[in-house]
A and B are shown apart, each in its own frame.
Chain A
Amino acid sequence: MLSLEFILLVISLLILISIFLTKLSDNFGVPSLVLFLVMGMIAGSDGPGQIEFNDYELTKSIGLIALVFILFSGGLDTKWKSVKTVFWSGLSLSTLGVVMVTISVGFFCNYFFGFGLIESFLLGAIISSTDVAAVFSTLRAKNTRLKGCVRPLLELESGSNDPMAIFLTVLIIEAIISGVPSTFSAVLSLIMQFGIGGIIAVISGKLMVKLFNKLKFGNDSLYVVFAIAFALLIYAITTLLKGSGMLAVYISAIIIGNSDFIQKRSTIRFFEGIALLSQIVMFLALGLLSDPSELLPVTSTGLIISGFLIFAARPISVFISLIKSKFSIKEKFFLSWVGLKGAVPIILSTFPIIYGIQGGYNIFNLVFFITLSSALLQGWSIPLMAKVFKLEEPEPEEEIIPIKMSSRVQINKEMIDLIIPYKSEIIGKPLADISLPEESLIVLITRNGEYVVPSGSTTLEEGDTLLVLVNKENVNEVKQKLMRVHH
């Protein structure tokens, strides 16, 4: 039995090395997940690390917990405003798109390799979901910004197709174990999963915001602890009630992230950290679990399936799912290229082994190989593709306004812009002589395109544009003072 200290030493060193490796991935544009996986493989039983780790059940649990935090953090960060415009396209991609990939990969493997039909569909379902972290880490590393609505769509798709992939995988495994279900029961269970998941998401999301704002914890750190427990609670309850736990976690996080609540900023930051840690731990575990020596025999099969997935299945699913959308052909080609695979397929590929499905190990190795090759091939080339399809956007101009104000919870202040009317009565009067009501302040004057810093002796001119900080109750009085004109 290894001592606790030794295990901790190994784990902490692995995590630290992985973090240093992200620098490397920034330089080469390789998605960091590949490096984490390789790190795990090197440390594993086949590599120089020689660490024996064969616990599929434990890996699956680690993976699911990590996924809860990754989706929760992703949801918190998702701006509803930007996602709203691509909602239906995203929904179509993450439902119809996932089904299309499953079916096309399924038929391909059945026809081309002679795999059993249902096992082929299982493989298709497992590799159907995409990973947002893999996409965005390379974009960020190469400082590439995407034009238009492609980015929010990718974000929404990769967050919401995991539940569908999980659902299909479990459904097909059940079909293998206990016979193919009737269409009716399959559809019913789909509705149950997503219906219950959705309902719990809305209730719990709103509840958490309420609780955050109502409960006054003495210790600020308790808020994040509360949020961690709450995220796990949402997953557990929903799954126990036969709903889609991941869906509930993701949607509730979107609701929470788009509401105002105390400690919002620190909570989101904290979850970003947790999500990163989850990713590292999860990929390390998955890398440890795999045996590189067993990947060799599946190389050719894996490459062919990977190629089919990248050049046929994904484009087909994108073009069909978005047939009614307003996305251009170029955007659709780009979207087809960024169907990067990430953690979810590998986590799902432990399922067949755990359920004792015949050929389970083969599926695990294949999926592992496909994920690696997709991340490698597509990962580094995303910035290039953005250039090819002309979807790059220059860095936005930095907000360089001397003052910034966002309304917070229960703050009754507001920043308004006012234009000093022509023939205004206050032209030529020093600001000090204009007695604005309590709790109101002219914070900035803009005159003919240039800033003027207001002081007591500053006089206003016609057409000056002011930013005024006001107490909402005093707005009318402020207007009266500043907006009077000579008739």
Chain B
Amino acid sequence: MKISEILKEDIIEVNLEARDKTDVINKMVDLAEKSGNIIDIDEVRKCVFDRERLVSTGVGKGFAIPHGKSDYIKDVVAAFATLKEPVDFDSIDNEKVSFVFLLVGKDALLNVHIKLLSRISRLMNKDEFRDKLLVAKKKSEILKLFKDEEQQYIEI
């Protein structure tokens, strides 16, 4: 499995408008619902907010990766968005967030879940990659950026 295989154009959003952190997460979960993999959207929302309470998933450099584990999904649930205006996400480095990747994995498949998390956070740590994402105007461009960037890495 690769990140670029999980992402589809309908779960990508360019210039998402959101007021605050809660709004961002809610909109990301709504976006992810388009994958058709969510069985109970409220439960999915809850698991993401629960994880966020432990410690913010704003890992720095303007990126946040809200995530969680849930039984109420059929398969991995994901969504990616660039934000129109940076939003305060209680990030560890206090920087406002401009990119958000939502990932919800099955409770029973923790192994895949954490591997995907580590892949995403590795990808998003690259300055040039983030710069390219920031100027991308179309969903297809974003999808292609992920595909190209991930090419050098192994299947998970």
A422 to B108 alpha-carbon distance, docked (Å): 28
Which residues on the A side are within 8 Å of B40 (C-beta)? 85
Which residues on the B side are within 8 Å of A85 (C-beta)? 39-40, 72
Q: Chain A nearest CB: distance from B51 CB in Å?
A: 8
A421 to B65 alpha-carbon distance, docked (Å): 11
Question: Is A316 positioned at the interface, with any CB of B under 8 Å from its CB?
Answer: no
A178 to B93 alpha-carbon distance, docked (Å): 80
A61 to B116 alpha-carbon distance, docked (Å): 55
Contact B54 A485 (CB under 8 A): no
Q: A82-B71, A421-B59, A483-B92 are contacts. A449–B109 as well, Cβ < 8 Å?
A: no
Which residues on the A side are within 8 Å of B92 (C-beta)? 421, 424, 483-485
A447 to B114 alpha-carbon distance, docked (Å): 9
A13 to B139 alpha-carbon distance, docked (Å): 69
Interface residues on B, range: 35 or more
Which residues on the A side are within 8 Å of B94 (C-beta)? 487
Question: Is A401 positioned at the interface, with any CB of B under 8 Å from its CB?
Answer: yes
Which residues on the B side are within 8 Å of A467 (C-beta)? 114
Contact B156 A449 (CB under 8 A): yes
> Which of B12-20, B79-87, B119-127 participates in binding chain A?
B119-127
A483 to B91 alpha-carbon distance, docked (Å): 10
Chain A interface helix/strand/loop/mixed: loop
Q: Chain B nearest CB: distance from A29 CB in Å?
A: 27
Q: A85-B40, A479-B55, A483-B92 are contacts. A449–B108 as well, Cβ < 8 Å?
A: no
Q: Chain B nearest CB: distance from A470 CB in Å?
A: 10
Contact A465 B93 (CB under 8 A): no
A169 to B93 alpha-carbon distance, docked (Å): 69
Contact B116 A485 (CB under 8 A): no
Question: Is A155 positioned at the interface, with any CB of B under 8 Å from its CB?
Answer: no
Residue in chain B with minimal CB distance to A401: B111
Residue in chain A with minimal CB distance to B110: A401
A225 to B74 alpha-carbon distance, docked (Å): 39
Which residues on the B side are within 8 Å of A475 (C-beta)? 54
A485 to B55 alpha-carbon distance, docked (Å): 14
Residue in chain B with minimal CB distance to A79: B71
**Chain A to chain B: the 3 pairs with minimum beta-carbon distance, closest first:** A463-B121, A422-B60, A465-B118
